[in-house]
Amino acid sequence: MKHLIVPSLIVLMSLSMSLPSLSIDDRDQDRKIRQLEEKVRKLERELKELRLLVYEKFNLESKSKAPDLNPQASCKDQLVNFRTQKADLLNNGYRDKHPYIAAVSRTIKSLEKTCGHEVDSMSSKSQ
């Protein structure tokens, strides 16, 4: 068993000597880079939180109020708009259980039913 350990140690020692060792400057630079990366992550988190606050402040009228429908837009256009709005809210960190998103989801379901009836009535008229 000893005859296997000694050659392994020699190989390990030669490998460790052949690898460039990090100088103090390199270690300091690595440490500074890690610190800067951590600061960037912290700032990104803060920015995301600020975006959420701004979004809540200016875009969410009432947390439980259903979103307004646009009478000039077609049912399908409104459905696309509300799906996009819901996706944007979810991408900005809101959860499905947020009261406004729940209201948007109910509106989407209602529009899906309405649009389905419109499509059915259009297809029956064309026949």
Which of 4-8, 33-37, 77-81, 102-106 shows the lowest mean pLDDT across its residues? 4-8
Pick from 59, 82, 113: which residue ends a domain? 59
Q: Give the up-direction half-sphere exposure of residue 124: CA atoms within 13 A in the CB hemisphere.
A: 6
Structural domain total, the chain: 2
Is it the case that residue 120 has pLDDT exceeding 50? Answer: no
Question: 99-126 and 75-91 helices cross at what angle (nearest 10)?
Answer: 150
Does residue 61 surpass a pLDDT of 60? no
Residues 93 and 115 in one domain: yes
| Torsion angle of C-alpha atoms 49, 51, 55, 56, degrees rounded to 10 | 20
Q: Average pLDDT for residues 47-71, to the nearest whole number?
A: 66
Cα(78)–Cα(113) distance, integer angstroms: 13
Is 85:104 a contact under the CB 8 Å cutoff?
yes
Last residue of a domain, one of 59, 77, 107: 59
Indicate if 37 and 83 belong to the same structural domain.
no
Domain extent, residue 50, equals: 25-59
Whether 55 and 67 share a structural domain: no
**Cα–Cα distance, 9 to 63 (Å, whole number):** 67
